[in-house]
Amino acid sequence: MQTDVNSNADILKAIMGSYPTGVTIITTEDVEGKPAGLTANSFVSVSLEPLLVLFCVDARAGSLKAFRQAGRFAVHILAEDQNEVCWRFSSREPNKFDDVEWSWSERRLPILPQSLGLMECQTVQTVEAGDHTIFIGEVVHIEKTDKNPLLYFRRKVGSIPPNWFE
C-alpha cells in the first residue's frame, strides 16, 4: 500500500485509472450556436423512472459554459473503432468538430455517427461538487446498435479482449 510519497489525490487518480470504464463523447450547442463537446468517462445511468443519467465536467473544461447554458446534451457511447474521435475530443483543440463527421439532431444537438449508443438529454439538475459540476439529464431520445464498446483503462483505450466471454 502506498501512503507516503503520493498525495491522496494522486492515489485516488491512480486507483480510478485502474478502474476500467467505457468512454463517451458528450456534446451540446454553445452560445454562438456552434457545436461543443468533450470526451468523458464519468457518465453513469441513475434512474429508470424517470430515465436519468449523469456526467461530471471539470471546472477548467472549455465546454462547461456551453453545457450550463444549453440545458441539454447528447451522450455518445463510443464503439471500439472510435479511438481517434475519443482522443480528439479529449484535446483542447478549439475546432474539434472540423475534421469529423457530425450533424444537428431534431433537438439541435451535435450528433456523431457510428457510436454504440446515443442518448439525447434535457438537463434537469446541476450540482456543484468540488472542482466539478454534475449534470443530471432526462433521456428524451435514445438509439442503440449491437457494436462492441471502446474501453478506457490506465490511460489507454481498447476493445474487449477476444476471450472475455469464455
Ligand X SMILES: Cc1cc2nc3c(=O)[nH]c(=O)nc-3n(C[C@H](O)[C@H](O)[C@H](O)COP(=O)(O)O)c2cc1C
d(CA 75, CA 123): 12
Footprint on residues 30-59 left by ligand X (CB under 6 A): 38-42, 55-58
**Identified binder of ligand X from the candidate list 61, 100, 134, 136, rule CB under 6 A:** 61
Indicate the SS3 state at residue 103.
Answer: strand
Number of residues that make up the chain: 166
Residue 118 interacting with ligand X (CB under 6 A): no
Q: Which is nearer to ligand X, 155 or 163 (CB)?
A: 155
Residue 90 interacting with ligand X (CB under 6 A): yes
Closest distance of CB 165 from ligand X, Å:
24
Under a CB-based contact definition with an 8 Å cutoff, are residues 94 and 21 in contact? Answer: no
Closest distance of CB 3 from ligand X, Å:
27
CA 133 to each of CA 60, 61, 98, 126, 146: distance values in angstroms, whole numbers, following the listed order: 10, 10, 27, 7, 31
**Angle, alpha carbons 145-146-150 (nearest 5°):** 95
Closest distance of CB 21 from ligand X, Å:
7
Of 63, 60, 55, the closest CA to residue 32 belongs to: 63
Q: Which stretch binds ligand X (CB under 6 A): 12-20, 60-68, 77-85, 97-105?
A: 60-68
Q: Can you give the C-alpha Rg of the chain in angstroms?
A: 16
**Identified binder of ligand X from the candidate list 28, 63, 82, 115, rule CB under 6 A:** 63
Indicate the SS3 state at residue 14.
Answer: helix
Closest distance of CB 55 from ligand X, Å:
6
Q: Which residues bind ligand X (CB under 6 A)?
A: 23, 38-42, 55-58, 61-63, 90-92, 152
